[in-house]
Amino acid sequence: MRDREKARQKAKELVAQMTLEERASQLRYDAPAIPRLGVPTYNWWNEALHGVARAGVATSFPQAIAMAAAFDEELLKTVGDAVAMEGRAKYNEYSRHDDRDIYKGLTFWSPNVNIFRDPRWGRGHETYGEDPYLTSRLGVAYVEGLQGSQDDEYMKTAACAKHFAVHSGPEGVRHEFDAKASKKDMYETYLPAFEACVKEAGVEAVMGAYNRTNGEPCCGSPTLIRDILRGEWDFQGHYVSDCWAIRDFHMHHMVTKTPEESAALALKSGCDVNCGITYLHLLKAYEQGMVTEEEITQAAERLFTTRFLLGCFDENEYDKIPYEVVECKEHLELAQKMARESMVLLKNDGTLPLCKEKLNTIGVIGPNADSRKPLVGNYHGTSSRYITMLEGIQDAVGDSVRVYYSEGCHIYKDRVENLGWKQDRISEALTVAEHSDVVVLCLGLDENLEGEEGDTGNSYASGDKKDLELPESQRELLEAVAGCGKPVVLCMLSGSSIDMQFAAEHVNAILQVWYPGARGGKAAADILFGSCSPSGKLPVTFYKDLKGFPAFEDYSMKGRTYRYLDREPLYPFGYGLTYGKVSVKEAAVVGEIKEGEAFEVSAVLENNGDYDTDEVLQAYIKDLESKYAVPNHSLCAFKRVALKKGETVQVTMQVPYEALMIVDEEGKKYVDSTRFALYVGISQPDARSISLTGQEPVKVDITL
C-alpha cells in the first residue's frame, strides 16, 4: 500500500537537514544536486501526452483527442501503464549514465484535462474533448495507468492534471488574458475533470494555467489552489506552474510589480515548483519579508514527498524494468489497437470498406497522404519507424493493386515548388484520379497549423485556427478531385472540427483519422480495407461553421458544446458509423435508485449488419424540471461493446448518482428534480444524430 505519510516523514527529515538556500533551490523545475545529502539533480519537466515525449525513441500512441474518440477507459488505462513502463525504463538507463536532463525524469506533465470548448483552440487536440464527464473518466484512467495502482508501495510515474483551470484559448493572449467564468460554469464544466483526477485517481501533481481566472493568475490563485484544490478537494500532492507563467504576473497580468512579488504570490498561494526562473528571486523575497521560511520549507517537503513516493531514494521493483520494453512489440500492437478504435467514420455510401480483389488501381492524393507530421500531433516522441497513409495503403494491397500517388497541393501554401505556378500539383492529382478506380484523399492539418502558442508554425493565429476551413490550397484540391467522377474517400487528419459541408455533399465516404500515431497509416488501411470495422465516436461537436458562434474570448458555456448547442451541427458529439448495423432494442434501470449511490442501466444490443464490429453504447440524461439543468442533455455513461454479425448481447452500465444533480448559480450541486429522461443508444438523442445513424435511442423515464 502506498504510504504518503511515511514518504512525507522521510521528506521532512531530509529537508530539515538543508539550509534555507538549498530548500529554495529545490523549488525550481531544474532542481540542482545537494551532494552532501546524497540528493542528485532532478528535472521535474517531462511530457507523456500520448507516449513518452521529447526524450528519444518511444512508442507513439494516437494524439489525446484521438484516444478520447475510442470512448474506452480500460484501453486508455492500459496505454497509460505502457507509457509509464517506457518512462521508467528510459529513466533507469538515463540515470545509470548520470543523465538527469530535461524530459528524463519520472514526473510527467500529462494529462491535459481542459475542456475543448471552442473549435478554434489550437491545443484542443491535447485534450479529451468537450464533455466534462468523458474528460473525467478518461483523465482518471490515464492517471491511474501512469501512476499504477494505489495499492502499490511506490508510484510507477507521477501524473499531472493540467492546466488548472478554465484554460482553452485564445493562445495569443494567454499570458495576459482573464478568463471570466460563472460559478455554475466552473463547477458544471471546467472543474469536474480536475476534481475526479484528484479525488478518484489521486493525481500527484496539478499544473496551473497561464491565464487569470476571474481576476486571479492561475499559478498564484488562492481561490483555485488553496480554497478549491487543497481545501474543498483535499489535494495532497504538489502544484507546478506552467512554464514561465509566474513571470507573467508582473510582466503581463500586472498583478505584481517585481519578480520578488510574483514569486511570493505564487508560493503563498501554494505553487511548489516554478517551471521558469522567477523562484530564483525567492530568497530576496524572503529577505524582504514577503515569504516565510515555513512556506519555503513546506513546498520543499511536498516535492520530496513525491520523490520518495517515486522511490527515487530507495531500491524498488521499478528499477528492474528493462530497456527492452521501449517500443516493444506489445506496445506497438497496443498503439495500433488504439488507433483503430479512435478513427471515426462520418459518412459512407457503401464505398467502404474497399475490396482490393475488385480494384486494379487506387489513387492516393493529398498533402497529408505521405507526410509524417500529421501522424504524431504535438508533444510527441520519436518513432523508429513511421507508416504514412500512403505507405499503409501500399502495404495493405501489396503488388496486387497499382497505387498512384500525388501530393496534390501544399498543406497551406498556394504551390509546392516556389518557382511553380499556383496549385502546381493539381494537374498531377487529376491525372492520378483519372487513372484510378477509387481515390483516397488525405487532407487536414498538422501540429504546424494547430497547436501551442510559440510552438507552431501558425504564427498568424499563435497556434489557434482563425476559422474552421481547410487552407485554401486544400479546398481547391478537394473540389477538383470530388468533381473528377471517381469514388472519393476523404481521410481527414486533424485534431479538431473542420468545416466539411462541401465534402459531406460531394464525396462518397469520410473517415476522421485524427493524428493516429507514428504508424497510424497501418491502422487507417486496416479500416479502409475492412480488416476491422471503424468504431470511434466524436469527442467534440463538428460544427458546420462559426456563424453565430460565441466570441473566442467568451468563457460562458451558452451556445457551446453539445450540452448548450442552439443550432444543428454537421456531425454531433458521440456520433460515428461502423460497418455493422447495431441498434439498442431495449433499455431499463435495474432495481431502485438510492440516494448517493450509482445506479445500473441494462441494455440489449443487436448487430443486424454483415460485419463484426465494436459499438459504443451511450447514455444521456435530461433533467425535465430544474431551471438549472443544461438546455439539452448530458452524457452520463458509456461502454464499448464487441458484437459479431447477427449477435445480440445484454450489457449493463453504471450511472453515477451525480448525473441526477444540477449545478446552480452559486456552483452548488444537488438533486433539484423528480423527473428525468434517460436516453440509451449508439449516439446522442438529438435529431441530427438520429437522421445520420437511422437509429433512435431508447428513452427510459426516471421518477425519484
Q: Place 456 in a pLDDT band, splitting at 50, 70 and 90.
A: confident
Please give the helix or strand (H or E) that residue 10 lies within, else none. Answer: helix 4-16
Please answer whether residues 146 and 157 qualify as being in contact, where contact means their C-beta atoms are separated by less than 8 angstroms. yes
Question: Would you state the torsion angle of the CA atoms of residues 111, 116, 119, 124, taken in this order, to the nearest 10 degrees?
Answer: -10
pLDDT > 80? residue 83: yes
Tell me the helices (H) and strands (E) count for the chain, helix number first.
20, 23
End-to-end CA distance of the chain: 40
The residues of the chain that CATH labels 3.40.50.1700 are 343-540
pLDDT value for 681:
98
Q: What is the average pLDDT across 243-248?
A: 98
* pLDDT value for 460: 62
- pLDDT tens digits, residue range 267-316? 999 999 999 999 999 999 999 999 999 999 999 999 999 999 999 999 99
Looking at residues 455-465, what average pLDDT do you find?
77
Collapse the DSSP code of 484 into the 3-class scheme (helix H, G, I; strand E, B; otherwise coil) and give the result. Answer: coil
Residue keyed to cell 500517388: 405
Whether pLDDT at 461 is above 80: no
Residues near 199 by beta carbon (within 8 Å), at least 6 away in sequence: 233, 234
Q: Please state, rounded to an integer, the average pLDDT across all residues of the chain.
A: 97
Span 37-59, average pLDDT: 98
- Among candidates 295, 301, 294, 240, which has minimal Cα distance to 272? 240
Please give the sequence-ordered ranges of beta strands (E in DSSP) within 176-329, or none if there are none: 178-179, 205-208, 212-213, 216-217, 238-240
Residue 293 burial (10 A CB sphere; 0-12, 13-18, 19+): exposed
Contact 389, 364 (CB under 8 A): yes
3-state class (DSSP) for residue 108: strand
Would you say domain 4-11+25-325 falls under CATH 3.20.20.300?
Answer: yes
| Architecture label for domain 582-703 | Sandwich (2.60)
State phi, psi for 626 to the nearest 5 degrees. -70, 135
Q: Which three cell numbers stand for residue 366?
A: 493529398
Where does 343-471 have alpha helices with state H?
373-376, 389-397, 426-434
* Contact of 20 with 283, CB cutoff 8 Å: yes
Strands 661-663 and 669-671: antiparallel
Q: In the chain, which residues fall in CATH 2.60.40.10? A: 582-703
242 is catalytic: yes
Q: What are the cell numbers at 452?
A: 501551442
Angle between helices 4-16 and 293-309 (to 10 degrees): 130
Mean pLDDT value across residues 214-235: 98
| pLDDT at res. 455 | 78
Partners of 638 in beta bridges: 618
Q: What's the whole-number mean pLDDT along residues 594-600?
A: 98
The size of the chain, in residues, is 704
Q: What are the Cα distances from residue 103, in Å, to 53, 91, 126, 373, 420?
A: 7, 9, 18, 21, 42
Catalytic residue among 327, 407, 447, 450: 450
CA 500 to CA 510: how far, in whole Å?
Answer: 9
- Other C-beta atoms closer than 10 Å to the C-beta of 118 total 25
pLDDT in tens, 319-352: 999 999 999 999 999 999 999 999 999 999 999 9
Helices of type H across 584-703: 687-693
Cell of 159: 501524473
Residue type, 502: F
- Encode pLDDT of 680-690 as tens digits: 999 999 999 99
pTM of the model: 0.98
29 grid coordinates: 523545475
- pLDDT for 459 equals 62
Say which residue the cell 500515431 belongs to: 517
Contact 178, 211 (CB under 8 A): yes
Residue 458 has pLDDT above 90, yes or no: no
Question: What is the per-residue pLDDT across 606-662, written as a single tens digit (0 to 9) for each?
Answer: 999 999 999 999 999 999 999 999 999 999 999 999 999 999 999 999 999 999 999
Q: Is the peptide bond before 163 cis (omega within 30 degrees of 0)?
A: yes
- Give the pLDDT of residue 448: 92
Alpha-carbon distance 154 to 311, whole Å?
6
Residue 63 and residue 126 in contact, taking contact as beta carbons nearer than 8 Å:
yes
Q: What is the pLDDT of residues 19-37, one digit of tens each?
A: 999 999 999 999 999 999 9
Using pLDDT thresholds of 50, 70 and 90, give the confidence band for residue 210: very high
Task: Express as a percent the part of the chain with pLDDT over 70.
Answer: 99
What's the pLDDT band for 121 if we cut at 50, 70, 90?
A: very high
- DSSP assignment of 133-185 equals HHHHHHHHHHHHHHH--TTSSS-SSB-EEEEESS----GGGTTT-EE---HHH
56-79 confidence digits (pLDDT tens): 999 999 999 999 999 999 999 999
The predicted structure's pLDDT at residue 321:
98
Q: What cell was used for 116?
A: 475543448
Are 606 and 582 contacting, i.e. CB atoms less than 8 angstroms apart?
yes
The 10 Å Cβ neighbour count of residue 294 is 8
| Residue 555 CB contacts under 8 Å (≥ 6 apart), including other chains | 117, 166, 179, 180, 181, 185
Query: Cell 521493483 belongs to which residue?
Result: 317
Q: Give, to the nearest 10 degrees, the angle between helix 73-96 and helix 132-147.
A: 40
Question: Is the distance from CB of 536 to CB of 512 less than 8 angstroms?
Answer: yes
Q: Which of 242, 261, 453, 526 is catalytic?
A: 242
What's the burial of 509, exposed, middle or buried (CB within 10 Å: 0-12/13-18/19+)?
A: buried
**Fold of domain 343-540:** Rossmann fold (3.40.50)
Is the bond preceding 367 in cis, omega lying within 30 degrees of 0? no
